Structures are given as structure tokens and as C-alpha cells.
Structure 1
């Protein structure tokens, strides 16, 4: 038995942990599962309880036959579910290819990327990870191994299905050709939330990747002031001469590591306020064509190993929601509520989503998405987030399952319109409820 948590470290539960090395080993373990069921787990980067199963079985899939293949003619990659995007990038980038979608960390597995239908800074152009998957292999509760494509409804129940339809064994997906391992980036500072929304609406479509960092502690006329970062993969002629000698070099490593024990309260209003002031102040009003590496552009927090420890032993809550275009008043109301309450969030980011995938429980939809990290010790946090859930639901939005650790089943049912369709497929493919998780119990899935 091993005590497991999500990346937020807020709700530890004990489970029997096993590490199958093949689909056959995983199938044998599934047959031995108790009434508490089984769920797959990758690198544990879902923030809440999606990869936990109190009293049951958890399959650590990172040891599943570590294999991958790439067809340079088509750009298609087939990779085992336990392979991390970090390891995949280390193989692909020097060959002139990049993953189609990456979230804010490259330390997620291919299986996790499919199960959470992860999104990145390019959603407004390229949608989420599931849109690029051509086929996946799924181990189901009856021990069968099924190869599924986008024409199968079980495929779309699995993409974004949080591991509750079976164990993803491998996936084939399309990748993106690149000339260099650098990004050509434009940086711009905005004075308030209204200007941030206006600039993003007017200019985001000029870039493949866009994101806005928001100073959540700014109030009054400065509320929602932001630093916009937009970019594209740099071409060879975008690089200075010294970088052209090895244009596809990619070897990122954490520069620092948080110690195992960090005192509670280190990230507080004073420390985050000081950081925000410096970060906003040093950003240029407008700068074009800045050359950055892939790692600092996409994964700045990966530069600090075990950065989740910085929130102390009580951990933190990651809250991410999306509201449709036309519901900007709701977004503004949420930012006002958080800013007025002095909520401490080390990283608050705003993005624009484009068209989502047909994934029945996939999170993205056309609209605005805001994500923030909040120390679990924040006063009045539970009640405030429940209040925000209501505003998001009323606006026709939803909360991201891969980051959620506290949403109610009622909010889930009200905000995911294809839930019953997904449940029907799950009952058919897993009639005895073999696949289960703490998230599934909490949300009555």
C-alpha cells in the first residue's frame, strides 16, 4: 500500500500500487482488482485526485514497454502510454519535430495527455491533444485490447475520459515539423483586464502560441494588468549566427530543486505581491522577435524540480475554468472577486480557446480560460471557489477535471452536457465498474 496524491498534494489516499511492464501484465492485475477497482497513473501531474484510488489498485504505467516509432514522411509518432513528453521531445526535437500540443509541463505521459485531452498555448489554432491522435490502444475491463480510431465513440469517451474507460497502452498521433529548437516571441504589457482582452482578441490569431500572465493582486484601475507572450517556432534565419551551428539542440534540465520540506506560508501576499511587481515591471511595453528556447517558453516551472513543494505540506489548489466568448462579464467578475479577496496565486494565466474535440468529457470549448494556483491554507478558499463554480456554470462554462480536486457532482452534471452519453458508453464497456478513481467517486461518474 502506498499513499498517493495529485500534484497539488491536498488529498492523500492509500492504494495498492503496481507497475506492469506490458499490456498482458496490466490485464492480469486488472483481473485481480478488488471491489474498489483500478485506475491507471502516469507521472502524477494531474493536480487533484484523478489518478488516486483509495483502498483499490493503481497501475503505475510509466514502466509499460517503453517504445516509440516515428515516420518522418508523415510526421506520425506511435508511443507507449508511459512515455513522457519530456523523453519524446528529447528524441523528436533534434530530428526536427515537435509534439502537437504540450501543457505547461513536459513531465506528463502520452497516456495522461490523451486521458486528460491536454491543451496548450496553441489551442486557438490547433485544438487539444486528442485532435491529433490517429489511433489508440485501450485495455478494457474484460481483458481485451482494442485499437480505436476517431470514428469509434469509445475513442471519444477515452479522450478526456480521465482513465475511466480502460488503460491506454499506446497512441499514434501527428507531430509538427520545426527548423530549430527556439521560439520567436513577442512580449507586450497591458495596463488592465479590458486592454488584455482587447489585445488578445485582435492579435492572437497572428500567432500559433499565446498566453497572458495576469497580476491577480493588482486592484482598481490596474486590475487584470498582464504580460502577453505570443510566439511561433523560430526558423533558421531567425536565429543569431552563434545559434545556427546547432539549431536543434534540446537538453533542458531543472536548474534548481525545492527541498523536501518547505515552511508553510512561504508563498504569501507579501512575497507574491513583490514577485508580481518585479515581473510586471521588468516586462517590456512591447518587444518583437525575442528568441527563446522551447523549455523557458513552454515549461518555465519545469526549471525548478518538485516546485509543488513550495506551497508547504498543506499543498495547493489549481483552479481552471472556461467560459464561452460573450461571457466576458463573468470572467471580469471572477477576476474582481479574486483580486478583491487578495487571493495569492503564484501563476495566473489566461488563454483563448478555439474549437474543442468531440471528447465527451473534454474540457476546452471556444472561450476564455483562466488558471491559477492557490495555497490550500488561503482563508475562505472552499466557499469562494464554490461561489465561482456557480458563476461559471451559469455562464455555460466548466471546470477542468485534470486540475480539479473539490468540485461537486452537481456542478459536474450541470456543466458537462455529454456526461450521460459518456456514462452510457462506460456502462457498456465496463458494466461492473472495474475502473474507478477518487475523482470518479467524488463526482459520481
Structure 2
């Protein structure tokens, strides 16, 4: 069948198998010749599509056990993060690390070693993973952790499914008093103001910024920086304090069809960015928002990827080292605004330190931008790649759909070691994705 990631680009032919048991999965892996696991298809590009066979884990979706003392959940790889929240937030538990969508699976979160709005405080998803069970090319399952089979553990976290099929994992949740977040919005008139706000908020539990990538001059990189803290029961008004873990649900909206290609252009994006920024200026300060609104604003719009039209979109996401972040971000934003091809989904975050074999984050800043697919935007993204390389940055494979192998090799000296580990352990013979072949991993 024809399959794509969330960005709907590229679209590739693959054989899709959805085993309903571990035994069925074992048969698929043993028969080969090469496979890659796919969770809920929320990787943007081709990292969860096999050139030969794609193994969909949607039926491996059981929550096996939960320890109410430690907050450790044992779950199969196909369990959605949203299902975890639905089951355990009413009991006072919430994920420690979460990406910008709750529709990612546990297996996908581990494979991409996803990060959230609190990386500067706790790091990436690996921080809350106790152990992982991985099926190798012989169909046997190996449990790995920081203390046992640590090399497999380290390479699986961030390894994009290229070390084997993730079957089960033990993941720690955090206790919370309520389902509400105290959100403070800071209007930052420029990139430097936004970075100053991030640096001054290193003690904040959560921080993220929407950034206007079409603003220019002294307003280059103007942003709305949003800080968040889990609210206590005492922070809630009476009507919410009586049921602090229950938040009112909003009716989901949906995009019923692909928008025409001309709907997103420099004029509509510029108008949206200006309106959104000034709305943030007017509605700033601190307010209570529910967990869904704070962590997953885009999940409220079902099928939002259709906004970009039938051709789909690509996301550019880079991480820049702290000492080069200001210069690199400035140059990136100047390149984007100069071409007038801005993204209305533009996110800036501050990363803390991280040491891992192949995970994306590094201490510094990460910028994420979505662009509708066209010849012009692909040329622009190649230019953004070059700017990132000049400033010592690297790229997020969970969002990549068009980078070259040469660019990846130049961006990250860990690629050679990861490739060698794949060869030595035999992972490269059996576990391959369209992305891994394109990037020659």
C-alpha cells in the first residue's frame, strides 16, 4: 500500500503487516528480509516506513501493570500517550516528558527519544524510561536498561527503530494534584528578548515559544514565550477545585478537506502571525489552562496536516549549540523572512544538556518550522540546512523527510559510531526504513 508520515511527504509503496500478538510479530521479523516498526504514524517523514515491510504495532496496545507507589507503567509499544493520560490522570499521574502530540505511541516516543517543553529541566524521554524490551532479528526479546544490556538501551533511545522492534517498556509517570497548568505568557518583541526570557526562566518547569518567522528588522524573531507550572488544588477556583483532575472538554475541530495550495502564502501567514502575536500581547500574564490546551494545542484540530494541501509539508527542525544559538537563529530567521516563506507553526525551545549516542537534543536552542512542499520551499530548506551546519547544529530525524546523507554526516559525528553499531550487531541487515536508506545509516 501507499504510506506516508504525518507530513504526507514522501508517499511510498510498502507492505504493511499488523501482528496481533508477540508470536505473530516474531514470525514477521524472522521471515524478513527487512522491516521497520510503525506506531501511530506521527513521525513526519519516512522514518517509520519500510522499503519492503512496515510492521504496524497498533494491536500491541495493552497496559500490562502499574505501580501506584513508584508511578512505573509497563505497557506495550503500541499504547498511545493519550490513552496513558486518559487512564492515569484521573488517578493523579501524568507523563514526565511529552512531545507536542498525545497521539504518539510509547514505542515511537522511545524510538525518537522525544523531548518536551521541560527538556531544560529533565531531559528527553529516556529520563523516564526504566527498561525496554526489544525484539532482535532472530525473533528473541532482550530486556535492556541503564544497568543491563546498556549499549542496546542507549542506541534504542533515539535510534529511530533501527536496533530492533520495541515490544514493551517500563515508563515512569509523575504525580500531579490537578489537570491544570498555570501558564504565563511573555511577549518578546525580538529574538534577543525571547532568548533573555528563556534564560531568566531556567527554573520554570515548562517553557516554549511561538515565534513569528516573518518579522524583520528590530522585530526579527518576535515571540510569545509561554511558561508553565502544574497547578495545585489551592490554585483552582471552587468549581474546579472540587474535581481537580477533571478538566472540561472542548469539542474537537477538524479540517474536512485538503486546502488549496494558494491558501498558505506570505500574505496569509504574515497576517496570521501578526494577529497571533498581538492577541498574545493583549492576553498575556498568568492564567489557568487545562493540560490538553497547554501540551497539545494542535491535537484540538483533527487532520490539521491537511492545511498544507494535497502535496503535504515538511518540517525543518534543528538544534543549535548554546554558544552559537543567537547567531544561528538570527541567520535562519533572516533567510526565512527574506524569502517571505514563513511558517505559521514555528516553535522555539531551550534545551538543557544531554549525552546520548544518537538522540537529537543538545544544550542550546531548537527551532521547528513547517513548510508546504514546493520546489521553492525545498530549496529554502536546503539553505537552512547549510546555515545550521555552519553553526554546529544538527537535525531531528523524527521530523526529517528530505535531508541528504551528506548533510547528516556533516551535522553529527555520532552517525559513524551509530552506523558501526548497526553493522556489528546485525541490526542493519534486518531493521531498515526508507529514511535510513536515504541517509545511509
SS at 2:259's partner residue?
coil
Determine the structure 2 residue equivalent to 1:308: 305
SS at 1:205's partner residue?
coil
SS at 1:206's partner residue?
coil
C-alpha distance in structure 2 between counterparts of 1:276 and 1:414, whole Å: 33
Determine the structure 2 residue equivalent to 1:193: 191
Matching of residues 185-224 of structure 1 within 5 Å: 185-202=183-200, 204-224=201-221
Determine the structure 2 residue equivalent to 1:109: 105
C-alpha distance in structure 2 between counterparts of 1:187 and 1:432, whole Å: 46
SS at 1:284's partner residue?
helix
Determine the structure 1 residue equivalent to 2:53: 57
Q: Tell me whether 1:126 sits opposite 2:115 in the alignment.
A: no
Determine the structure 2 residue equivalent to 1:324: 321
Give, in angstroms, the shift of residue 421 of structure 1: 2.2
Give yes or no for contact 1:193–1:223 (8 Å, CA) kept in 2: yes
Determine the structure 1 residue equivalent to 2:258: 261
C-alpha distance in structure 2 between counterparts of 1:59 and 1:251, whole Å: 37
1:385 counterpart (368, 372, 381): 381
Structure 1 residues 278 and 171 mapped into 2: Cα distance closer, same or farther (>3 Å)? same
Pairwise CA RMSD: 1.5
Q: Which stretch of structure 1 is more off in the superposition, 427-436 or 267-276?
A: 427-436
SS at 2:261's partner residue?
coil
Determine the structure 2 residue equivalent to 1:356: 354
Determine the structure 2 residue equivalent to 1:271: 268
Give yes or no for contact 1:137–1:147 (8 Å, CA) kept in 2: yes
C-alpha distance in structure 2 between counterparts of 1:120 and 1:199, whole Å: 18
C-alpha distance in structure 1 between counterparts of 2:102 and 2:112, whole Å: 14
Determine the structure 1 residue equivalent to 2:424: 428
Give yes or no for contact 2:347–2:368 (8 Å, CA) kept in 1: yes
1:384-440 Cα offsets, whole Å, 9 max, x none, are 222221221232210100001111111211222222222222223326611111001
SS at 1:361's partner residue?
coil
Give, in angstroms, the shift of residue 251 of structure 1: 7.2
C-alpha distance in structure 2 between counterparts of 1:8 and 1:280, whole Å: 25
Q: Which stretch of structure 1 is more off in the superposition, 283-292 or 219-228?
A: 283-292
Determine the structure 1 residue equivalent to 2:237: 240
Determine the structure 1 residue equivalent to 2:337: 339
C-alpha distance in structure 2 between counterparts of 1:432 and 1:371, whole Å: 29
Give yes or no for contact 1:138–1:146 (8 Å, CA) kept in 2: yes
1:172-203 Cα offsets, whole Å, 9 max, x none, are 1211110000001111101111111122112x
Q: Tell me whether 1:32 sits opposite 2:36 in the alignment.
A: no
Determine the structure 1 residue equivalent to 2:77: 81
C-alpha distance in structure 1 between counterparts of 2:210 and 2:398, whole Å: 21
Determine the structure 1 residue equivalent to 2:226: 229
SS at 2:178's partner residue?
coil
Give yes or no for contact 1:188–1:286 (8 Å, CA) kept in 2: no
2:392 counterpart (369, 389, 396): 396
Determine the structure 2 residue equivalent to 1:19: 18
Give yes or no for contact 1:184–1:290 (8 Å, CA) kept in 2: yes
C-alpha distance in structure 2 between counterparts of 1:134 and 1:74, whole Å: 11
Determine the structure 2 residue equivalent to 1:170: 168
Give yes or no for contact 2:180–2:247 (8 Å, CA) kept in 1: no
1:350-403 Cα offsets, whole Å, 9 max, x none, are 110002242x210001001000111112x5222222222122123221010000
C-alpha distance in structure 2 between counterparts of 1:357 and 1:83, whole Å: 27
2:280 counterpart (270, 283, 287): 283
Determine the structure 1 residue equivalent to 2:289: 292
C-alpha distance in structure 2 between counterparts of 1:254 and 1:391, whole Å: 41
1:44-103 Cα offsets, whole Å, 9 max, x none, are 00001101123x111110111522322111111111100000101101111111101111
Give yes or no for contact 1:138–1:166 (8 Å, CA) kept in 2: yes
C-alpha distance in structure 2 between counterparts of 1:357 and 1:132, whole Å: 15
Normalising by the residue count of structure 2, what TM-score does the alignment of the two structures yield?
Answer: 0.96
* Ranges of 4+ aligned residues in structure 1 off by more than 6 Å: none
Stretches of structure 2 lacking an aligned partner (at least 5 in a row) = none
C-alpha distance in structure 1 between counterparts of 2:236 and 2:90, whole Å: 16
SS at 1:436's partner residue?
coil
Q: Tell me whether 1:91 sits opposite 2:87 in the alignment.
A: yes
